[in-house]
Structure 1
């Protein structure tokens, strides 16, 4: 699906079964990643923010959301019943009430005129107040308080001719302009530049529009030859004043909508110096000087760096900083890089066609420098790889048609004897008239970020590198802030921005653990987790799923058949003991298969099983796959074949799990299997007793939605939208999911809600939301009276647009 263009029909995940298999709607327990929540109906419902950033800790968990949320709107007497129910701490309203949309709605309900905060704003409900449950504590957050500058910011439009797409070149042009003309023409101002079309100054420039002529010299390649010049025309023209007053109003709680332009200006100012020092990517900066490099395999290494973003919070303006890491191409000799990529020594043998194609794909677009000319390190960008070996390559040297071999040319011109003549040459420059460079005279230039997809082993190595204990992460973040020395940043000084060097302290609460309900047939019928942990000892699943027919395929060569059989038997016994209706014997005994033949093995084994089950009018309920610990793409291939091609539920187990033969491991796998086949492991006692505010008082469906975009460098693959929704009530433990392919890098979910034209009925509503609402009605027998919709958006500015589409 990832390689398909256009918009195929939305699919249920897993899709309906093919070839006799069946693919039930996947069932999940619990939530997922922290997202921003809001309620849809009725419009007065409060929003419950968790103040949690995504993944890299971009916001602190505490009493408040990541953006300023004013206190309750008006006195308690004017609150609707659900707001009154949700309020844990009925504190008095603030001295300066905030004119936000929920107050406007409350005013409208009493006949008063409602004044919207913004014509474009989505009217989010107010937070009803701060909670009081749990044990109060103080936590440190990776936020550093910033003082709002008291400056008059001006925005200028920049036009550079000839136009270039590289931000690096654009920055070099503006940097040269500032160096030459800051005193004479810029009034001594030090501008901040976004690398594209916008330039900002702390105060006006002495002109409304002005043209400059700038000359850039190419880097010195050590040859002593005259460096190439490039001439640019730069036009700087006044565009607007950046309004920081609205940002101050927003931070003070007197404006409902965050002024994104003002935040963007401050972000650009604080990014200016790091962009010159380090390798920027997105909101992060990387450098080999910011931490030790770690090899990732196949010619890649990880560089440490930091993420930074200016954020409005309840504490005021803050700079959010976190540690990050990403993959760079190792600055190796090209032959050594190719050997790592192929995991084979190529110093003494020619390449096969498959190996040559693999190297060509990996090196296309990579910048290299030559090493055969002493200090002259000229750089080139690779455009391809020759199909012929170096010893077979010739090229014309004059108009008369005289040709020379590459080997002869390098010997006569540079006195360099090529050793590896059986290897192909790198092609650099124009594809129509390429230049040939032997692989042995080229070295990869340092600092090139790897933008293609990492394999599973590389991802695992990168995650291991970035996983830290909180105290170690705190230490590294604090050291990074001191290393960046924001108080000495000339751009921060110019714009009057002051950054604290201490982690922000945030009031927080450790919430009491919810009591969990298990099946009445177990020795323990409920459980109270301690420090977030509990186990299944003496407990049974509240609803055990059915697995009457199953089989196992072993792709791990070091797991003998007997051990695979013992593992499967113990796992089946654990599933049965935990409350599932699980057959102890498989349809077929466990079979070993080669990892490079996963599709053939799975389909062959599936058809063998169906030859037995088909006459009995039964289906295969589950496939257990035993995988090597370092399985590369095997896991994804197995899931694709099982869930898309065959339509069967699958459970993967690693080799190390098989060898341990540990009851706790069996129990954890059993819990996963039960959810996948439609069972429920546990429910909240509060849900059964209808004590969860805004969920259990009336039929409620909870949605979650996100869009996954192709990896950077993939320009044709579609983005994948996923929407899940709860399918039971009041327990809210089962979820159904839909996925849909849509336009490349489109953040709005196109198939969320659609109106199609029916020949007989006319306009008919359809889309992912409608399908899930119908599924909820069939599952519960109730129409939802309330919708809670969690929508993660990758850009702050997309939030309002996404919400508008969700509830159109």
Structure 2
């Protein structure tokens, strides 16, 4: 089929999907809070889950139409954080819980204002002077300003036939002209609306979905609440279908569409887990769980350091951690020196990345092979450490939360050593037994590619494209290359140069050219699935196929490539177990030959 015909077919299918989606939303879009393709209702009192820091969890459902060999409606449960509809005075008190009501004694400092701005910026608030219902207004918050004492504006007054301009504070205006005295005059005003309006006495409007990234504690609470047994999840999906009541919508009926009230049965099989080869033993996982044996290829760690960035973690706890690393390391085949260099460094929440860079550079000059960094349980320290270590200094790090140091167990230390051994170019285990893919017995490159996008409120942060490619026969070790690119752009812009480097790296490490390349492309949304297969394949892959033929200057290089776009689905078995599966749409393009 000609390329333009394929593109036209892809566009028609995409438009058909959008039309079906719009039709299925018609009946209930006014009854729910819509967030993309997900829909939420206010929780019942017994269902309210506090996520912390001003957010509560709402349950809903996700729905989208799929045109496969026949039309399907994909429905799943959805979870979302919503700001609590509460007065901003309570929000400020909760954000500064360590000092309680003392926060109202003076104006907020810059750090406290920034924290409030991160939470309330972009949200809608309701403004109302007590006992004056006619004053109620709803505005969108732009930014946090100074206190009502210091925030002043010019008020134009009429004096007879003349006008007089008077500079007055917000607090004075409310007292003199609205007959209301503020109880907390040190608290900030808000800049709201399209024009400059400074308001006080605000309550967060209800029914707003948070279009921002959850913090660490909120994410943990969300995961705990969303993790449910398969039978509960299945029941909630069926309840969502009944609540949506698609078949009662005249618009749906007019198009001759009806939605079944049960799941579509499909035939399938569950593959046996592969045998994992360790040093002189084999392990077969049972229900995705197994205990690691002695690593197939252990490494040695002689010069390592512990950098403690948590003020609560003491020296004796760190020494105990070092002894456990050495002890468990001997059992799994990793030789670790029992006495690392330990340094304590207190990092403030507002600390810049440069402070960590300076400390890491000292360790690099010292010849450290690995730095174990103990980070606080909360905050953004992890991101700053990884940026400093991997983007600036160029040194290996292993971050460990402070609470992990206090709750050491054999399993925890073993899991840490899995990462440490891999980072030091060791081999933990490989696939063996009858399940070992025959394709791994020949020179094969397995490639995984994804693009990570910033959250909706992060407008000035770029997307990150990453491509990992195997370069050893058993496909255990991968070389990773990443690029920054414009925000929310799904196509990997520099894939040609990335794959050129990956192919050269493979050739250098194996002294062979790959006979087959399996390219797994993740991160493509359901709406883009058909488009990506037909159109974006050419944009992403053909340039580096061209460059790869130039790299390998041989009279004939035969290789096969399979390009797989990965989508995510859930399946319920008849015994009510849940399997989260990856549906792989594969395009096999046979052999490309250079003459």
Of 462, 468, 483, the residue aligned with 1:740 is 483
Higher normalized helix content (fraction of residues): 2
User: Quick one: structure 1 residues 526 and 732, their matched pair in 2 at CA, closer, same or farther if it must change by over 3 Å?
Assistant: same
User: Quick one: structure 1 residues 679 and 300, their matched pair in 2 at CA, closer, same or farther if it must change by over 3 Å?
Assistant: same
1:395 aligned to 2:154? yes
What is the number of residues matched between the two proteins? 525
Of 280, 284, 294, the residue aligned with 2:38 is 284
Report the counterpart of residue 282 of structure 2 in structure 1.
526
Alpha-carbon distance in 2 for matches of 1:444, 1:413: 25
Alpha-carbon distance in 2 for matches of 1:391, 1:529: 65
Alpha-carbon distance in 2 for matches of 1:503, 1:485: 15
Q: Following TM superposition, by how much is the alpha carbon of 1:706 offset from its aligned partner in structure 2, in angstroms?
A: 1.0
How well do the aligned residues superpose, as a CA RMSD in angstroms?
Answer: 2.9
Alpha-carbon distance in 1 for matches of 2:383, 2:347: 12
Write out per-residue CA displacement over residues 716-735 of structure 1, whole angstroms, 9 at most, x where no aligned residue: 32211111111112x11111
User: Quick one: structure 1 residues 300 and 289, their matched pair in 2 at CA, closer, same or farther if it must change by over 3 Å?
Assistant: closer
Report the counterpart of residue 591 of structure 1 in structure 2.
343
TM-score (norm 1): 0.60
Of 395, 415, 418, the residue aligned with 1:648 is 395
Corresponding residue SS for 1:310: strand
Write out per-residue CA displacement over residues 741-764 of structure 1, whole angstroms, 9 at most, x where no aligned residue: 1122211111001xxxxxxxxxxx
Of 599, 615, 620, the residue aligned with 2:368 is 620
Report the counterpart of residue 463 of structure 2 in structure 1.
719
1:352 aligned to 2:352? no
Report the counterpart of residue 134 of structure 1 in structure 2.
none
Report the counterpart of residue 558 of structure 2 in structure 1.
none
Write out per-residue CA displacement over residues 315-359 of structure 1, whole angstroms, 9 at most, x where no aligned residue: x32211111122222211122223333445333432224433443
Corresponding residue SS for 2:415: helix
Contact 1:296 1:461 in 2 (8 A): yes
Alpha-carbon distance in 1 for matches of 2:11, 2:517: 24
Contact 1:293 1:304 in 2 (8 A): no
User: Quick one: structure 1 residues 375 and 292, their matched pair in 2 at CA, closer, same or farther if it must change by over 3 Å?
Assistant: farther
Of 64, 73, 81, the residue aligned with 1:309 is 64
Report the counterpart of residue 220 of structure 2 in structure 1.
460
Contact 1:390 1:425 in 2 (8 A): no
Alpha-carbon distance in 2 for matches of 1:707, 1:308: 24
Of 33, 52, 64, the residue aligned with 1:297 is 52
Corresponding residue SS for 2:82: strand
Q: Following TM superposition, by how much is the alpha carbon of 1:408 offset from its aligned partner in structure 2, in angstroms?
A: 4.7
Alpha-carbon distance in 1 for matches of 2:183, 2:320: 56
Report the counterpart of residue 703 of structure 1 in structure 2.
447
User: Quick one: structure 1 residues 661 and 412, their matched pair in 2 at CA, closer, same or farther if it must change by over 3 Å?
Assistant: closer
Alpha-carbon distance in 2 for matches of 1:351, 1:622: 41
Q: Following TM superposition, by how much is the alpha carbon of 1:789 offset from its aligned partner in structure 2, in angstroms?
A: 0.6
Q: Following TM superposition, by how much is the alpha carbon of 1:681 offset from its aligned partner in structure 2, in angstroms?
A: 0.7
Q: Following TM superposition, by how much is the alpha carbon of 1:682 offset from its aligned partner in structure 2, in angstroms?
A: 0.7
Contact 1:457 1:632 in 2 (8 A): no
Report the counterpart of residue 124 of structure 2 in structure 1.
367
1:378 aligned to 2:137? yes
Alpha-carbon distance in 2 for matches of 1:610, 1:257: 53
Runs of at least 5 residues in structure 2 that lack an aligned partner in the other structure: 543-595
Contact 1:349 1:422 in 2 (8 A): yes
Contact 2:321 2:408 in 1 (8 A): yes
TM-score (norm 2): 0.81
Corresponding residue SS for 1:705: strand
Q: Following TM superposition, by how much is the alpha carbon of 1:704 offset from its aligned partner in structure 2, in angstroms?
A: 0.9
Corresponding residue SS for 1:277: coil
Runs of at least 5 residues in structure 1 that lack an aligned partner in the other structure: 1-115, 123-242, 247-255, 614-618, 754-766
Which of 1 and 2 has greater Rg? 1
Which structure is richer in relative contact order (CA contacts within 8 A, separation 6 or more)?
1
1:678 aligned to 2:421? no
Q: Following TM superposition, by how much is the alpha carbon of 1:571 offset from its aligned partner in structure 2, in angstroms?
A: 0.9
User: Quick one: structure 1 residues 430 and 478, their matched pair in 2 at CA, closer, same or farther if it must change by over 3 Å?
Assistant: closer
